[in-house]
Amino acid sequence: MQEFSEILSNHTRLQDRIAYSKDLLDRIRARLNDHASCSRPELCIFAAGSLARHETGRISDLDLFFVGHKPARAMGSRSISRLEEIEVFADLIRLNEELGLQSFSGDGRYLKIHELDDIIDGTGSSDDDSENLFTTRLLLLLESKPTAGIAVYDHAVREVLRMYFRDGVRGRKDFRPLFLLNDILRYWRTLCLNYERDRFEPGKPWWKRNLNLKFPRKLTVFSTVLAIIATRMSSADEFLVIAAKTPMERIAFALDQIGDLSLATQFASILDDYEDFLAAKSHNELDGPTTAPIAVFSEKAAQLDDFLHNVFASASLDRRLVRYVLI
């Protein structure tokens, strides 16, 4: 049954946004291929954020993450030298300006190439948070689209998943991907804590950050959690199927697995609400002189919460895994 996927594919406004995002991604890939610095065999560049979710609007920025991997790399050495790294970022800054996109956030402080080995070996360590390895690893799985270095990208995704599903590979018959679920839920809680830390930061309206948390970030996390539970996932190959989907495609896919058609009307309404939010964000309506739109979208966000609650309450889901999400 593909009822919910069809509802999504028939949503004209969202499909227009998806088509625009895919076109922009293709243009970025083509431009990166023209730069030798960005097409090194040891480097992968992937997009995250609205572009990777296929939700890009008229006003957007380019959220890029970088993974280096060189199979014969000596212990302690880098896949990409520091000077080569600077060359990559210089070309990307120029490309960003040429495409008319917003400047890289944090004055470029997040532009850093992480070694794949560090992303995997640092899991749970003190470096996981301080070196931004945790965010890079989770975004790689939850909302990423490769823009350069597809071979390194594919290898990185598979190696990270091999870590998370290692107990399943060892043949445990009762295997459930609790390691992966735990890190995904940890990511959600980290996002919530970061919001509380930063919500009084000057120049960044707290309500805009709050709605980003309640809409796209929540969907990114819980569409993945739902897909894992709905499919009774037990292997890395099964995760690869949903990793290639955007969060909205992922939730439609999970709903198809559940097969509860009583949720169809509510799902269609959620799509309308979500597109309304994306449109308001694209036209800077959330930055206006009044807070009137905030109340409207806060109510829509509450309706999304109700919908997710109803979905996770479905008797078709493995209640043991649902219980794990709650307790």
pTM, rounded to two decimals: 0.92
pLDDT at 161 (0 to 100): 97
pLDDT digits (tens, 9 = 90+) for 78-128: 899 999 999 999 999 998 888 888 888 777 778 899 999 999 999 999 888
How far is Cα 284 from Cα 165, in angstroms, rounded to an integer? Answer: 42
How far is Cα 198 from Cα 119, in angstroms, rounded to an integer? Answer: 25
Distances (CA, A) of 228 to 21, 185, 245, 254, 258: 26, 12, 13, 8, 12
The domains of the chain are located at: 3-326
- Over residues 62-84, mean pLDDT: 86
Model confidence band, residue 167 (pLDDT cutoffs 50, 70, 90):
confident
How far is Cα 169 from Cα 174, in angstroms, rounded to an integer? Answer: 12
Side chain identity at residue 270, one-letter code? I
Helix axes 319-326, 178-198, angle to 10 degrees: 30
- CA nearest 36: which of 148, 121, 127? 148
- Over residues 15-37, mean pLDDT: 93
DSSP assigned state of 110: T
From 36-50, 108-122, 167-181, 310-324, the region with the lowest mean pLDDT: 167-181
How far is Cα 195 from Cα 178, in angstroms, rounded to an integer? Answer: 26
Helix/strand number for the chain, H first, E second:
17, 4
pLDDT at 281 (0 to 100): 84
pLDDT at 171 (0 to 100): 64
Helix axes 133-142, 178-198, angle to 10 degrees: 120
How far is Cα 156 from Cα 306, in angstroms, rounded to an integer? Answer: 36
pLDDT digits (tens, 9 = 90+) for 207-236: 778 889 999 999 999 999 999 999 999 999
How far is Cα 292 from Cα 52, in angstroms, rounded to an integer? Answer: 29
Whether the predicted pLDDT of 248 surpasses 90: yes
Residue 47 phi, psi (nearest 5): -90, 145
